[in-house]
Amino acid sequence: YRGFLDEFVGRRSITGACAIHSRRFREKRFRSTPIVFVDEITAIGRGAELLSRKKKGFVCNIGTGTPFVFFNGHNIRHVGGTGVGGGTLAGLAKLLLDCEVEGLEKLAKNAVGDSVGDCGSLDLTVFDVVGSSVGLVPANATASNFGKVLAASSGREEIAKSLLKLVAESVGTSACFAAKSCGCNEIVFTGRVVDKNRFVRERLSQVTALFGCKPIFTPNATYCTAIGTLLV
């Protein structure tokens, strides 16, 4: 995107509640350069448009929380969202494991697998509940996140894995329903959690496939909102 960014050298644009309400930016100037304030939802939509190279689509931006945004040219609208997101991972990782988000995936790699009927995971599977698949839901799908805590050992590795699954599955399922309400079967996933965590991407792919949607993971997904802010 080097050629694209060259056009914006010397310009300062900000978005997000923390930035907009910061005392530092109240004078609307930064080192003598005027600051442009940009609506965050619009920035997410424009950023996803550039990163995905699609004129029309649906973006799930996993930040502190997770907004769902439909974009189609100048028609960018906030479809909804969930409070489950990167902030959830950060808070529960600290509370349950006293570690940073970056340490979750490393821990999860050493957790017991979650094949059909596996009792090592802290999540109840559909198999655990009914002994087979149910409708379109396969037997090894999650029936209840952390639903097996009382009946299984809760090592740090298993907690980390179940925590990542909780966020990825909750966000992915909600995003599928929201995308379909907009007539979209593809979902552009953006945000730092998506960009930096392979386990989350894999779980999002599994969940979206279950509901007939296709995930799109782009390079530089961390910077979707920032790029959109410049575009606006």
pTM across the whole model: 0.86
The pLDDT, as a whole number, for residue 117 is 40
Binned at pLDDT 50, 70 and 90, residue 227 comes out as very high
Helical (H) or strand (E) element with 30: strand 29-30
The predicted-structure confidence for 160-188, as pLDDT tens digits, reads as follows 999 999 999 999 999 999 999 999 999 99
Asked whether the beta carbons of 60 and 224 are under 8 A apart, the reply is: no
Ramachandran bin of 80, using left for φ above 0, alpha for ψ from -120 to 50, beta for the remaining angles: left
* CA gap 225, 48 in Å, rounded: 8
Comparison of pLDDT for 23 and 66, the residue scoring more: 66
Return the structure tokens found at 126.
């559909």
Q: For residue range 29-62, list pLDDT tens digits in order.
A: 556 667 778 889 999 999 999 999 999 999 999 9
Classify residue 117 as left (phi > 0), alpha (psi -120 to 50) or beta. left
Confidence of residue 194 (pLDDT cuts 50, 70, 90): very high
